[in-house]
Amino acid sequence: MPATSSRHGTLLRVPWVLVHFVIGYGAILALIFVPYIQTLAVYGHHRGFSATPNFSSPEDYGLAPGKAVNLYITSADNTTLGAWFVTSETYYRSLPFPVQTIDIPVALKQRPTILFLHGKSGHRAIPRRIAVYSALSSRLNANILAVDYRGFGDSEGSPTIAGVASDARAAWDFLFVHGARPQDVLIVGHSLGTAIAALLAAELGRDSISPLGLVLLAPFASLRTVIHEYYILGFLPLFKPLAMAPALTRFLLGLATHPFDTLGLLPNITSSVLIAHAEDDGAFPHAHADMLFDAFLELIPATSPIPSNMDSVARQAELRRRLATVQEIPGFGKLEEAQRGERKFALLKTVAGTHDILRVEGVQDVMGRMFNLI
């Protein structure tokens, strides 16, 4: 009886599929919360892209000869960090060809500088980052300091939140020691680097130092939010099966080893802030940019109370309506801007651009205009 036996077979197989699924799910959940695995997953610093880059030769990676210099910065705990200083187009063009040496203090005096805090994996010499230095040094005519956090590239050590935060601070101090004025340094973070940029901006805020501004490109609101929304292999929602167990969910999220929490830092950030996110970003949903922008708007004192019967969605819409001006840029995106005294908050949403949004010229230009670089 072939029909019966096949039905029988299916019935027997179903529970096994379920058992495998539950075991697999449990294993993935357990693995994700192993600190070592979290460190690798969050920073991806073990992924180098090219064999061993010759960091002392930025020319090998496409930068004009003599335009960039490889240097080493010592972090607060004596960890040595590799970095590149790329000069602005104006300064580079002012030097006799072929360029022999660059004078960092002179370059810093001539043009504003971008402290670039890169995202996860790779190092300062990977092609998509080189493309960013080329664009920012020419299109925005800015100097760039690109630092590899501990554990990345040829920097010593391995990454922790406190460690990478002190590395960003060491890069800031390097500029300061070489004569840069805080109001001439724009802190730009991309992806994971937005959380590090926010840590630096909050630390400077606490020290009453005002940088030119803070730019958060393709940011995430907090790492716990990201883990909570995570889809295994892009389609299996990690925390969906635990929706009925909020206490367990909270407990598991509490195990995050590197709980970057940009949202929590906002009150201590005192500079102007630009947030940019592409709607087709595949790494972090652009709702993260909204969460951050709305949290900044909440810092602006209300002129009249917002009705208490509004839910959070309606409240955010009302805050935007009251505080932000909206500019539609045809074919490109939408720019919302708000002002609090001297400070400006802006949210740029682009229709396209993916996660690698800093290579988008329109985004570079909005940055340039907002911070008077162009």
Ligand X SMILES: *[C@@H]1O[C@H](CO)[C@@H](O)[C@H](O)[C@H]1NC(C)=O
What is the rounded distance in angstroms from the CA atom of residue 254 to the CA atom of residue 261?
12
- CA quadruple 366, 209, 132, 164: dihedral positive or negative? negative
Cβ-based nearer residue to ligand X, 114 or 216:
216
136: Cβ contacts below 8 Å, ≥ 6 apart: 114, 116, 142, 144, 358, 364
What is the rounded distance in angstroms from the CA atom of residue 300 to the CA atom of residue 338?
9
Cβ-based nearer residue to ligand X, 64 or 348:
64
- Nearest-approach distance from CB 194 to ligand X, in angstroms: 16
Cβ-based nearer residue to ligand X, 164 or 360:
164
- Nearest-approach distance from CB 51 to ligand X, in angstroms: 11
What is the rounded distance in angstroms from the CA atom of residue 69 to the CA atom of residue 59?
10
Cβ-based nearer residue to ligand X, 50 or 56:
56
List beta partners, residue 250. none
What is the rounded distance in angstroms from the CA atom of residue 334 to the CA atom of residue 311?
25
Query: H or E segment at 236?
Result: strand 236-237
Cβ-based nearer residue to ligand X, 113 or 166:
166
Q: Rule CB under 6 A: which of 321-360 touch ligand X?
A: none
What is the rounded distance in angstroms from the CA atom of residue 365 to the CA atom of residue 374?
8
Q: Rule CB under 6 A: which of 198-237 touch ligand X?
A: 202, 206
> Interface with ligand X includes 163 (CB under 6 A)?
no
- Nearest-approach distance from CB 55 to ligand X, in angstroms: 8
Q: Report the residue count for the chain.
A: 374
- Binding characters for ligand X, 46-75, by CB under 6 A (x = yes): --------x-xx------------------
β-strand pairing of 236-237 with 231-232: antiparallel
Which residue in the set 13, 27, 77, 103 belongs to the binding site for ligand X (CB under 6 A)? 77
Query: H or E segment at 17?
Result: helix 2-32
What is the rounded distance in angstroms from the CA atom of residue 29 to the CA atom of residue 242?
11
366's tokens = 């909005």
C-alpha dihedral (141, 143, 149, 154), degrees to nearest 10: 110
- Nearest-approach distance from CB 205 to ligand X, in angstroms: 7
Q: Rule CB under 6 A: which of 2-41 touch ligand X?
A: none
DSSP state of 107: H
- Nearest-approach distance from CB 162 to ligand X, in angstroms: 13
Q: Rule CB under 6 A: which of 80-119 touch ligand X?
A: none
Cβ-based nearer residue to ligand X, 298 or 337:
298
- Nearest-approach distance from CB 119 to ligand X, in angstroms: 23
> Interface with ligand X includes 78 (CB under 6 A)?
yes
**CA neighbours within 13 Å on the CB side: how many for 76?**
10
Q: Rule CB under 6 A: which of 267-286 touch ligand X?
A: 268
The piece of 33-41, 247-255, 261-269, 279-287 that touches ligand X (CB under 6 A) is 261-269
- Nearest-approach distance from CB 102 to ligand X, in angstroms: 15
349's tokens = 């949403």
What is the rounded distance in angstroms from the CA atom of residue 367 to the CA atom of residue 374?
9
- Nearest-approach distance from CB 54 to ligand X, in angstroms: 4
Query: H or E segment at 333?
Result: strand 333-340
Cβ-based nearer residue to ligand X, 175 or 265:
265
- Nearest-approach distance from CB 265 to ligand X, in angstroms: 5
The piece of 14-22, 264-272, 306-314, 363-371 that touches ligand X (CB under 6 A) is 264-272
What is the rounded distance in angstroms from the CA atom of residue 275 to the CA atom of residue 266?
13
Query: Using an 8 Å Cβ cutoff, are 88 and 137 in contact?
Result: yes
Q: Which ranges in 33-110 belong to alpha helices (H)?
A: 35-43, 89-93, 104-110
Cβ-based nearer residue to ligand X, 74 or 325:
74
Which residue in the set 195, 265, 269, 363 belongs to the binding site for ligand X (CB under 6 A)? 265
> Interface with ligand X includes 264 (CB under 6 A)?
yes
Q: How many residues contact ligand X, by CB under 6 A? A: 10
- Nearest-approach distance from CB 207 to ligand X, in angstroms: 9
Name the site residues for ligand X (rule: CB under 6 A). Answer: 54, 56-57, 77-78, 202, 206, 264-265, 268
